[in-house]
């Protein structure tokens, strides 16, 4: 079995973003790279997630360029896909907080995660591993 990478269309990437609910955010905190898992929702040209107000992730996402990633990989490495997004994150004001609650965005670590962060999708790239079964 051999595999090759196939670049996915923006439409395929957006469909995977809309279908997912857990991703990874990459930020810079105290001049060091940090990757954190988050529950998220895709909303139009935005990715929205919740974090702890005044926590490390909120501070790192305050009008900053961040990266976001979702993926799925077969345990044997024989197939899968990934979507990577880079964009500018902003902290959502309290006036928008109620509207974003309608997204039913949950957080796995507790309700004290009441700061919404919006990442505007800038650059987006997705790839899929396609496998070809060679005849023997």
pLDDT reported for residue 115: 85
Element (H, E) at 101: helix 94-101
Residue-wise pLDDT for 62-77, tens only, equals: 999 999 999 999 888 7
Q: What is the residue-averaged pLDDT of the chain?
A: 86
Residue-wise pLDDT for 16-39, tens only, equals: 999 999 999 999 999 999 999 999
Q: For the chain, which residues make up each domain, given as ranges?
A: 2-132
Rounded CA separation 96/111 (Å): 17
Answer whether residue 8 shows pLDDT above 80.
Answer: yes
φ and ψ at residue 132, rounded to 5 degrees: -115, 130
How many CA atoms lie within 13 Å of 57's alpha carbon, on the beta-carbon side?
21
Q: Which CATH architecture has domain 2-132?
A: Roll (2.30)
Rounded CA separation 10/14 (Å): 6
- Share above pLDDT 70 across residues of the chain, in percent, rounded to a whole number: 80
Answer whether residue 134 shows pLDDT above 60.
Answer: no
The candidate with the shortest Cα–Cα distance to 123, out of 85, 89, 67, is 85
Mention every residue, 6+ apart, whose C-beta is less than 8 A from residue 53: 112, 114, 115
Please, which pLDDT band fits residue 135 given cuts at 50, 70 and 90?
very low
The candidate with the shortest Cα–Cα distance to 120, out of 10, 42, 38, is 42
């Amino acid at each position: 079995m051999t595999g090759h990478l196939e670049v996915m269309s923006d439409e395929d990437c957006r469909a995977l973003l809309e279908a997912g609910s857990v991703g990874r955010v990459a930020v810079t905190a105290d001049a060091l790279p940090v990757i954190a898992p988050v529950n998220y929702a895709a909303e139009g040209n935005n990715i929205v997630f919740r974090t702890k107000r005044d926590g490390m992730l909120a501070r790192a996402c305050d009008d900053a360029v961040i990266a976001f990633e979702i993926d799925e990989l077969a345990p044997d490495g024989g197939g899968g896909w990934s979507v990577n997004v880079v964009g500018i994150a902003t902290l959502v004001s309290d006036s928008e907080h109620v509207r974003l609650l309608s997204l039913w965005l949950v957080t796995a670590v507790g309700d004290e995660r009441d700061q919404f962060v919006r990442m505007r999708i800038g650059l987006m790239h997705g790839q899929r591993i396609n496998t070809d079964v060679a005849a023997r």
